Structure 1
Amino acid sequence: MKLTGNLLIGAHEIPATEGTMKALNPATNQLIEPDFALGGVEQVDRAATLADEAFDAYSHTSLAERSAFLERIADHLDAASKALAARAALETGLPEAQLQGEVARAATQFRQFADVVRKGRFLQVAIDPAQPDRQPRPRMDHRLQKIAIGPVAIFGASNFPISYSVAGGDTASALASGATVIVKAHNAHPGASEIQARAIRQAVQDSGLPEGVFSMVRGSGNAIGEALVDHPLIKAVTFTGSEQGGMALYRRAQQRPEPIPVFTEMTSVNPTFVLPHALAGRGSQIGDGFAERMLVNVGQACLKPAILIAIEGTGFDALRAAMAQRAAQAGARPMLTPGIHASYIRGLDDLQRAGARLAAEGEPAHGDLDGHSALLEVDGAHFLSETALAHEVFGPAALLVKVRDAAQMLAVARSLRGQLSAAMHLEQTDIELARRLLPILERRTGRIVVNAFAHPQEVSFATIHGGPFPASSDSRFTSVGMTSIERFLRPVSYQGFPDALLPEALRDINALAVPRSVDGQ
């Protein structure tokens, strides 16, 4: 596929208005052709205007039409899979085979959301029929369904160039809700972003939908992102990235004349708690598995297990040795961007200045952007006294926390901020301690895993990818899974309507066969 580097605003190819950029190959630290256009406020305004003009028509498409559109996107992603994975590998340093799996996951998400739309459960239809004879006052007919919130701005992530990017779950769930979408592509993988955007735009055209259903913009610095958040036609924002970046967007959105929701996925250390009998029986296995998951994607994953807490005693030395061996044997690999690499080096230094000791490190870096693995350790008392030790270090590093007893383990759990996930490794004989730990973790995370690691994650109805602040800005919602569509919906009640004027899902005859609550039943 030939890359033009243009911005894709509706059906239009927009050349550079604010300069150009090239992608960087982090494995070679060399720039890659071609030039990619950078835009500004004017291009954001054009995209937002088109999205608003398209919204009424798109949000009122039938469930069948919208499902077919989402499936066309999946088909176009499948067709572009080889070229997309190859370009993403050049721009990220990640293995091409892994990225082909990411394309497949993205296409699968669109098909899953097509099924969600087709079944209509997301509408959450409720009907309270009229009761004209009710005393002391008659009740009018009330009918409720959920509709899309409006045009949505989506900020692509750096670490998953497809499944959290232009064709990621945010885009799939927003389009499924009936929202029109503007994606701010991440500058770390502009070529991969263009291929995905063209797949979506082709599906818009094939489906005969208004051009403003989807646009992709790109810019340098913060100006274009700020313009998206500020634009009065944008009604919601999603963001995956750092706490600093996410909170800057969140605060900005609350200062608008019309505040809007910003759904962020920010920072998490995804703690793993190894309970005593599991430690005694499986310490080595748990330690090796933890370190293996920590190293996936060179540690550049939001669900990377970064802190392991275990009680000193039988099995601890075996656990520590297995973690150290896995970390020491890991080769240094390219990190995604110069900024992420620099932040990783600073993060390792911060941990050591806060009192963590280096227990093992992997092969030294060969390339300029290589990230070498590191295992650090600290005792529970010191961890509790230094809040900096609980901060995320985005990269192939982990912290082992040795606590003296169950009480100190629970104290460590209580000290943690909000997390995307937490894990417990336990045996049946650990159940009583697990019962004490569980409510502490429930208050601090959106997902608790037993006898496994939080990464990877299924995309399903029962999935939660979110948690209390600072893991996300709103712990009531998930950014992954079928229920992530709920971020982009709001309820509307229709009172006293004639049947012919009602939305199809609310009419007396349920021709769509969608699930409905009638008078609470």
Structure 2
Amino acid sequence: MITGKNYIGNKLSSSGNKTFTTFNPESNTENYWKLYEASDAEVDEAMRLAHDAFKVYKTMPGRRKGDFLNHIALEIEALGDKLIKVYCEETGLPEGRAKGERARTVGQLRMFANLVEEGSWVQATIDTALPDRAPMAKPDLRKMMLPLGPVVVFGASNFPLAYSTAGGDTASALASGCPVVVKSHPMHAGTGELVASAIIRAAEKTGMPNGVFSNLNSSGIEVGKKLVEHPLSKAIGFTGSIKGGRALYDMAANREEPIPVFAEMGSVNPVVFLPRALKEKGKTLAKTYAGSITLGAGQFCTNPGLLFAIDSVELDSFIEELATEIVKVKPFCMLNPQIKKYYQANKSKVQSETGVQIKASLDDSPDNYANQALAIVSGSTFIVNKSLQNEVFGPFSMIVKCSSIKELESAITVLEGQLTGTIVSENNEIFYYKEVVAALQNRVGRLIFNGVPTGVEVCSAMQHGGPYPASTDSRFGAVGSQAIYRWVRPVSFQNWPNELLPLELQDDNPLEINRTLNGDLIQNNSKR
């Protein structure tokens, strides 16, 4: 049952007067449940509970936190078909997508549970004292990662589970020892409440402090603004638009105590097709990329929005094939009428730019369904017109026809930061394009060889972030186990009594974790 209320710790609350509903884009009707926007008092109470919970939660051993995360996964699974039904009613996404995203969400939670139970992620580093060193004695120094404090997580519009209430930001923050306050996304707040209820049940069953998690509703920006500006907030996690992420970043920087914002924002995910690849497998590539461009109505942060190639007969053939294939794809329902509106507006804006040619466009589709399109522009025009880099969130892509290798390299060099960059090559021709590869590597967080950018594997080696504006800090990613390092900071203990040190830094290594001792990696009490 969806109450529409806010979870302030383990308490359901609806003290505010403002209500709103979510929308079913497939049926083009409002959903029947009413949601209560969090009041100022509820925002403050959630943050104060999180602050108090942090005092206890940050000291809990990894096995306790891991037990909590594993129980969240179990409780989400226990929601069963009810969760899938509401997810579909609020997004227009199909059941298969909902179940796949649920699997990814619980998989992430279990991954972080394993990480914190093992414990080496804290990067314990010990440099023992040298009291007889001349001319000055060396102190005993021990360093490890410690959690920042309450984290505010903003739910993402396009991933109601994997990037929202119990998604990667929440899972990694809880794993690090930080309580979480979620600002639920207004487009799928019912889904958010169901997942929040699962987290609260898991917290109660595993003896977590009240306030370790809260979930707040909001139909606009007001609640999010209050959360970012609240003096007890210590970090922000966000996935969404450049405009939204930058606004949060500036807001956090202007606080009396600035706090970090880890925002994953816009990306057009450039793809470079090398000449021999187009000649040898142009038809296959056209079919593959038509599918990638239109996948899920293009509502992925890794959607291939820019396709680069050197002008040739083979490129012209590829363009004809891609134009044919892209309009064959059955149109897909978008997440919300507003997202469809923004897609149409942004697509029209790019198409109206000087030098842009429309090669393919599907103009007839039902309400809230996306009309996929393909455009072409010359490399020289692209280089001088920065607005052609703007993300069009939806099934739209633009081919950039470059006159030479040099122009191709220049076009890539002027790109803003991106999440991904792809090289499509055949028969080792990539070895003749080292400068192009180097230019692409300089602009992206993940380099893909002979694949498509859509699809993000959740693992330790994944980097889901890139130079600004793909993300606000390119050193960190939002996906995989390394995401935990966004919510911690290194702390050194100098000449500290052994019995007062965290267990991770004590002499006898009671947790038997991997540590660095005087420059050597020690694995489970034995030198590797």
Q: What SS does structure 1 have at the residue aligned with 2:34? A: strand
Is 1:471 the counterpart of 2:470 in the alignment? yes
Structure 2 letter corresponding to 1:286: L
* Offset at residue 136 of structure 1 (A): 1.7
Kept in 1: contact 2:143–2:492 (CA 8 A): yes
Q: Which moved more, 1:321-330 or 1:222-231?
A: 321-330
Give matches, 1:299-338, under 5 Å. 299-338=298-337
Question: What residue is the counterpart of 2:207 in the other structure?
Answer: 208
Q: Residues 287 and 323 of structure 1 are in contact (CA less than 8 Å); yes or no, is this contact kept in structure 2?
A: yes
Q: How far does residue 79 in structure 1 lie from its aligned partner after superposition? A: 1.5
Shift in Å at residue 411 of structure 1?
Answer: 1.4
Question: Which AA in structure 1 matches 2:79?
Answer: A
Q: Does 1:86 align with 2:85?
A: yes
In structure 2, C-alpha distance between the alignment counterparts of 1:445 and 1:207, rounded to whole Å: 41
How far residue 314 of structure 1 moved from its aligned partner, in angstroms, is 4.3
Letter in 2 for 1:92: T
| Aligned twin of 2:295 | 296
CA distance in 1, matches of 2:253, 2:429: 45
Task: Give the match for residue 141 of structure 1.
Answer: 140
Q: Could you tell me how far 1:16 is from its partner in structure 2? A: 4.7
2: CA distance, partners of 1:498 / 1:377? 67
SS in 1 for 2:32: strand
1:400 deviation in Å?
1.4
- Cα distance in 2 for partners of 1:435, 1:428 equals 15
Matched with 1:71 is 70
Residue aligning to 1:449: 448
Alpha-carbon distance between aligned partners in 1 of 2:381 and 2:279, rounded to the nearest angstrom: 24
CA contact (8 A) 1:228 1:234 kept: yes
In structure 1, what is the Cα distance between the partners aligned to 2:129 and 2:386?
Answer: 58
Q: What amino acid maps onto 2:41 in structure 1?
A: E
Distance 2:63 2:151 in 1: 22
1:150 is matched with 149
Instruction: Specify the alignment match of 1:379 in structure 2.
Output: 378
Segment of structure 1 superposing worse, 300-309 or 135-144: 135-144
Q: 1-side partners of 2:297 and 2:242: how far apart?
A: 20
**1:12 and 2:21 are equivalent in the alignment:** no
List per-residue Cα deviations over 1:49-99 (Å, max 9, x = no partner): 000000021111011111111111111112124221221111100101111
CA shift, 1:388, in A, is 1.7
**1:494 CA displacement:** 1.2
1:199-248, CA deviations, whole angstroms, 9 ceiling, x for partnerless residues?
11111101111111000001232211110010111000011111111111
Give the equivalent residue in structure 1 for 2:175.
176
Q: Does the alignment pair 1:230 with 2:236?
A: no
Q: How many residues align?
A: 519
Measured against aligned partners, the alpha-carbon deviations of 1:280-316 in whole angstroms (never above 9, x if no partner) come to 1111212221121111111111000111111122421
Q: Which whole-Å CA distance do the structure 2 matches of 1:348 and 1:140 have between them? A: 61
CA contact (8 A) 1:331 1:362 kept: no
* C-alpha contact 2:186 2:220 (8 A) present in aligned 1: no
Q: CA deviation at 1:425?
A: 0.3
2:360 partner letter: A
Cα separation, partners in 2 of 1:330 and 1:51, compared to 1, 3 Å: same
1:499–1:508: 8 Å Cα contact kept in structure 2? yes
Amino acid at match of 1:438: V
SS at match of 1:446: strand
1:337-416 mapped onto 2 (5 Å cutoff): 337-355=336-354, 356-362=356-362, 364-367=364-367, 369-416=368-415
Distance in 1 (CA, whole Å) between partners of 2:82 and 2:163 is: 18
TM-score, length basis structure 2:
0.96
Contact 1:332 1:363 in 2 (8 A): no
Q: 1:220, 1:82 → 2: CA distance?
A: 26
- Look up the SS of the partner of 1:57 in the other structure: helix
- Aligned partners of 1:467 and 1:293: how far apart in 2? 21
How many angstroms apart in 2 are the aligned matches of 1:381 and 1:363? 29
> CA offsets, 1:399-458, max 9 Å, x none?
112222211111110121100101000123412333111221121110110000111010
Task: Give the Cα–Cα distance (whole angstroms) in 2 for the partners of residues 18 and 380 of structure 1.
Answer: 54
Distance 2:17 2:462 in 1: 40
Q: Do structure 1's residue 502 and structure 2's residue 501 form an aligned pair?
A: yes
Secondary structure, aligned partner of 2:365: coil
Structure-1 separation of matches of 2:410 and 2:325: 28
CA distance in 1, matches of 2:80, 2:519: 46
For residues 322 and 4 of structure 1, what CA distance do their matches in structure 2 show? 50
Q: Distance between the aligned counterparts of 1:337 and 1:16, measured in 2?
A: 28
How far has the Cα of 1:338 moved from its partner?
2.2
Give distance in 2, aligned partners of 1:375 and 1:148.
46
Q: Distance in 2 between matches of 1:81 and 1:398?
A: 37
Distance in structure 2 (CA, Å) of the matches to 1:214 and 1:496: 36
**For residues 75 and 434 of structure 1, do their structure 2 counterparts lie closer, same or farther at Cα, with a shift above 3 Å needed?**
farther
Distance in 1 between residues matched to 2:484 and 2:300, nearest whole Å: 23
Contact 2:166 2:195 in 1 (8 A): yes
CA contact (8 A) 2:15 2:42 kept: no
Deviation at 1:363, TM superposition (A): 5.6
Q: Superposition pairs for residues 15-30 of structure 1, below 5 Å? A: 15-30=14-29
Map residues 184-223 of structure 1 onto 2, 5 A cutoff: 184-223=183-222
Counterpart Cα distance in 2 of 1:509 and 1:81: 45
Seq. identity, %:
39
Cα separation, 1, equivalents of 2:490 and 2:401:
49
The residue type equivalent to 2:185 in the other structure is H
Paired residue type of 2:163:
Y
Q: Match of 2:95, as an amino acid? A: E
RMSD: 1.2
What is the Cα deviation at residue 28 of structure 1? Answer: 1.9
Over 6 Å off, 4+ runs: none
